[in-house]
Amino acid sequence: MKTRITEMFGIQHPIIQGGMHFVGFAEMAAAVSNAGGLGIITGLTQRTPELLAKEIARCREMTDKPFGVNLTFLPSVTPPDYPGYVRAIVEGGVKIVETAGNNPAKWLPGLKEHGIKVIHKCTSVRHSLKAEAIGCDAVSVDGFECGGHPGEDDIPNMILLPRAADELKIPFVASGGMADGRSLVAALAMGADGMNMGTRFMATKEAPIHENVKQAIVNASELDTRLIMRALRNTERVLDNPAVERLLAKEKSLGANIKFEDIIPEVAGVYPKIMKDGDMGAGAWSCGMVVGLIYDIPTCKELIDRIMAQAESIIRQRLEAFL
């Protein structure tokens, strides 16, 4: 299947594995890239630029296919060493960067001069147009269904994707609620050039996370995610658990007076405990409504091959039969 995204990134299938904290390690990215998609290493999971450089080198040993690095730009009193991370990406020969969070305009010239393609994650049409205007090569349009941060507009992909297609000139991929061949065909029908999957890739054999997390995803339904931190205008979609319920109770009792400090026990530093140790009650972790469509734990190759076979069947048989 050829789309503007497969052409731009030099990949076989229009499927991207987005950056995920304490999930996007070298083995995850390599497995997706080897299966014909685009794997992404999550930059800030590596505590220093030097560690990111090692992770990029480790990924190179596992795949000769294209892969990218996610860089999330966070508002912070003491920001990470972003110049160092950019240097590690450039020196590591990585040619694709997924940016997220704050406006990446400051960092684009340094990436562009080394021939690096940038795809920026956006949760609205206006942010997507801004990304296009500052020179991003593509955008990942994240609907309200997505795990992690869906923005504050609450627009689902059935509306957001066609709106993006109406406005954008650069290619975009659909993110949020993507799980199978039906997702891919629907995304293409609404104007996208591919899809980005996060939660679905967590439930794969190669995902370097605890088995407890994978089983939690398989066992959950589409009713089992919650939105937290709405009052802080930092909304995040997470899988429900006792820690999330405690956090929501605090939000309810404190109302508009809530501060980030009030919820630190439920959100700060919890990812290693959950993803590495399998402590499912340690805190809140990003997860999409798409859990309702995840029933098994295949290899990345099995998953991607299945998606592409299903997509081709839908296009050639089901859709053509209607004409």
Q: Among 132, 204, 136, which residue's Cα sits nearest to residue 164?
A: 132
In a domain, 310, yes or no: no
Number of domains in the chain: 2
> Any idea how long the chain is?
323
Q: How many Å apart are CA 17 and CA 175, to the nearest integer?
A: 10
In a domain, 250, yes or no: yes
**Any residues with CB less than 8 A from the CB of 145 and at least 6 apart, and which?**
156, 157, 176, 177, 237, 288, 289, 290
Q: Are residues 235 and 136 in the same domain?
A: no
Q: How many Å apart are CA 109 and CA 8, to the nearest integer?
A: 19
Q: Are residues 98 and 232 in the same domain?
A: no
**Residue 112, pLDDT score:** 96
**Residue 54, pLDDT score:** 98
Evaluate whether 294 touches 203 at the Cβ level (below 8 Å).
yes
Q: Are residues 149 and 275 in the same domain?
A: no
Q: Are residues 56 and 184 in the same domain?
A: yes
**Residue 4, pLDDT score:** 98
In a domain, 84, yes or no: yes
**Residue 73, pLDDT score:** 95
Q: Are residues 62 and 178 in the same domain?
A: yes
Residue with tokens 């399998």: 278
- Chosen domain end from 154, 177, 208: 208
Question: b/e per residue, 157-190, with b = 16+ CB within 10 A?
Answer: beebbebbbeebebbbbbbbbbbbbebbbbbbeb
Q: Are residues 112 and 182 in the same domain?
A: yes
3-state SS, residue 158? helix
Q: How many Å apart are CA 8 and CA 139, to the nearest integer?
A: 12
**Containing structural domain, residue 165:** 4-208
In a domain, 301, yes or no: no
Q: Are residues 135 and 63 in the same domain?
A: yes
In a domain, 179, yes or no: yes
In a domain, 309, yes or no: no
Q: How many Å apart are CA 237 and CA 289, to the nearest integer?
A: 8
Q: How many Å apart are CA 308 and CA 313, to the nearest integer?
A: 9
Q: How many Å apart are CA 304 and CA 35, to the nearest integer?
A: 7
- Chosen domain end from 184, 208, 232: 208
Q: Are residues 31 and 104 in the same domain?
A: yes
To the question of pTM greater than 0.85 for the whole model, the response is: yes
If residue 33 lies in a helix (H) or strand (E), which one and from where to where?
A: helix 26-34
If residue 109 lies in a helix (H) or strand (E), which one and from where to where?
A: helix 108-112
Q: With 0-12 CB in 10 A as exposed, 13-18 as middle and 19+ as buried, what is 77?
A: exposed
Residue with tokens 């960067």: 97
Residues of the chain where predicted confidence (pLDDT) is lower than 50:
none
Q: Are residues 12 and 34 in the same domain?
A: yes
Q: How many Å apart are CA 116 and CA 237, to the nearest integer?
A: 30
282 alpha-carbon distance from chain centroid = 22
**Residue 77, pLDDT score:** 82
In a domain, 263, yes or no: yes
Q: How many Å apart are CA 275 and CA 4, to the nearest integer?
A: 34
Interior CA angle at 191 toward 233 and 68, to 5°? 65
Q: Are residues 45 and 120 in the same domain?
A: yes
Q: Are residues 149 and 18 in the same domain?
A: yes
**Any residues with CB less than 8 A from the CB of 161 and at least 6 apart, and which?**
141, 143, 174, 187, 190, 191, 192
DSSP secondary structure string for all residues of 6-54: HHHHT-SSSEEE---TTT--HHHHHHHHHTTSBEEEEGGGSSSHHHHHH
Q: Are residues 10 and 144 in the same domain?
A: yes
In a domain, 124, yes or no: yes
- Chosen domain end from 173, 208, 243: 208
**Would strands 15-17 and 67-73 be described as parallel, antiparallel, or unpaired?**
unpaired
Looking up residue 100, the CATH number of its domain turns out to be 3.20.20.70
**Residue 75, pLDDT score:** 81
